[in-house]
Amino acid sequence: MKFEATQSRSLVIKKGQATERFKLYVQKEEIPSIVTSPIKCMGKRFDASIQDRDNIKKLEQQVEKVLKKTAADYPASSKLDSTSTLCSQN
């Protein structure tokens, strides 16, 4: 079985911070770091920030855009206004 290192990503955390100091290899191929090569999987972006804050903001923007477009397309039947949000603020 051949493992594709280019199809994978590595994330090394040292003292709570992502680092590129250590390189990981499989079958003599370097696995790219998520710091240098972020990926998107199932609509979620994985990068070195280790937080979901950016993903949540992006989702809120997408929902707001769809709500505004829906309200503009169907003004008579739409009960949504531009201040409606589906996301809670934490």
Would residue 56 count as lying in a domain? Answer: yes
How many domains, the chain?
1
Q: pLDDT at position 78, please?
A: 47
Would residue 66 count as lying in a domain? Answer: yes
| Domain containing residue 15 | 5-73
Would residue 86 count as lying in a domain? Answer: no
Higher pLDDT, residue 48 or 82: 48
DSSP string, 1-29: ----GGG--B-EEETTEEE-SS--EETTE
Contact 69, 46 (CB under 8 A): no
Would residue 40 count as lying in a domain? Answer: yes
pLDDT by residue (tens digit) across 42-55?
A: 777 777 777 778 88
Would residue 52 count as lying in a domain? Answer: yes
Would residue 15 count as lying in a domain? Answer: yes
pLDDT by residue (tens digit) across 23-32?
A: 888 888 888 8
Would residue 57 count as lying in a domain? Answer: yes
By three-state DSSP, how is residue 39 classified?
strand
| Antiparallel, parallel or unpaired: β 17-19 and 12-14 | antiparallel
Q: pLDDT at position 64, please?
A: 92
